[in-house]
Amino acid sequence: MNLVLSDETLLGGSNAPADLCGYGPVPAAIARELVSGAVDDERSRATIRRLYARPATGALVAMESRARLFPRGLAAFIRLRDQRCRTPYCDAPIRHLDHARPWVAGGATDVGNGLGLCERCNYVKEVTGWSVRPEVDEKCSHAAEFTTPTGMTYRSGAPPMPGWSVRLEISEMEIAVQMACSGLHAA
Ligand SMILES: [Zn+2]
């Protein structure tokens, strides 16, 4: 059975109901009892997987995988998102999908921790002193901060999708000033 609940409900910080798939909503207290019962029971094979929701809408958009290898659909998505090797200043074709935070160190096999790298950069990144910290920046695009053995840091962002132009927000005051100026030039 699958039980979907927020981290706050799981940890007791919220009483928002959980959803028992195929049944419907269940109260937070019952959900926590189900989880603790499953964890305490030696015969149980309970596992926890993180699901990711869009902050504005709560819509579920991604799920982490417990596998070390990126599942095919996720791998295809990361290749499409990154397009080229994500190491700053390297533009080689993607050959490997890499865990930014290593899998052995608890790094998730998910869209946030996955990076497309060329073969050379994937091996270089394993050298002591290199580390990569993935993040979602304020514009919600995927970014990664690379730290080199000399301590220098470089950021790498996933490219925008084809045909996407940056939308600038212009205030009404700026529009008014521009119109006033265009009138001056015309005069
Ligand atoms: Zn590379």
pLDDT digits (tens, 9 = 90+) for 106-119: 888 988 999 999 99
Those residues whose C-beta lies under 8 Å from the C-beta of residue 112, and which sit 6 or more positions away, are 52, 62, 134, 136, 142
Question: Could you tell me the distance, in angstroms and rounded to a whole number, from the CA of residue 4 to the centre of ligand 1?
Answer: 38
Does the pLDDT value for residue 98 go beyond 80? yes
Q: What is the mean pLDDT of residues 127-136?
A: 87
Total residues found in the chain within this entry: 187
Question: Could you tell me the distance, in angstroms and rounded to a whole number, from the CA of residue 130 to the centre of ligand 1?
Answer: 14
Pairwise pLDDT comparison (1 vs 25), residue with the higher score: 25
Pairwise pLDDT comparison (176 vs 107), residue with the higher score: 107
Give the residue carrying structure tokens 């073969």.
Answer: 119
Pairwise pLDDT comparison (35 vs 184), residue with the higher score: 35
Pairwise pLDDT comparison (166 vs 107), residue with the higher score: 107
Question: Could you tell me the distance, in angstroms and rounded to a whole number, from the CA of residue 30 to the centre of ligand 1?
Answer: 49
- Looking at residue 174, its pLDDT comes to 67
Burial (0-12, 13-18, 19+ Cβ within 10 Å), 151: exposed
Boundaries of every domain in the chain: 3-48, 72-157
Question: Could you tell me the distance, in angstroms and rounded to a whole number, from the CA of residue 179 to the centre of ligand 1?
Answer: 47
Q: Which of 87, 44, 81 is nearest to 62 (CA)?
A: 81
Question: Could you tell me the distance, in angstroms and rounded to a whole number, from the CA of residue 139 to the centre of ligand 1?
Answer: 25
Name the pLDDT band for 186 (thresholds 50, 70, 90). very low
Name the pLDDT band for 185 (thresholds 50, 70, 90). very low
Those residues whose C-beta lies under 8 Å from the C-beta of residue 72, and which sit 6 or more positions away, are none
Q: What is the mean pLDDT of the chain?
A: 84
Question: Could you tell me the distance, in angstroms and rounded to a whole number, from the CA of residue 155 to the centre of ligand 1?
Answer: 14
Q: How far apart are CA 17 and CA 4, in angstroms?
A: 9
Strand partners, 153: 147
Pairwise pLDDT comparison (179 vs 54), residue with the higher score: 54
Question: Could you tell me the distance, in angstroms and rounded to a whole number, from the CA of residue 113 to the centre of ligand 1?
Answer: 17
Question: Could you tell me the distance, in angstroms and rounded to a whole number, from the CA of residue 5 to the centre of ligand 1?
Answer: 39
Q: What is the mean pLDDT of residues 125-143?
A: 81
- Looking at residue 76, its pLDDT comes to 93
Q: C-alpha 8: how far from its chain's center?
A: 19
Question: Could you tell me the distance, in angstroms and rounded to a whole number, from the CA of residue 127 to the centre of ligand 1?
Answer: 14
Give the DSSP H or E segment for 53: strand 51-53
Question: Could you tell me the distance, in angstroms and rounded to a whole number, from the CA of residue 146 to the centre of ligand 1?
Answer: 12
pLDDT digits (tens, 9 = 90+) for 52-93: 787 777 787 777 777 889 988 889 999 999 999 999 999 999
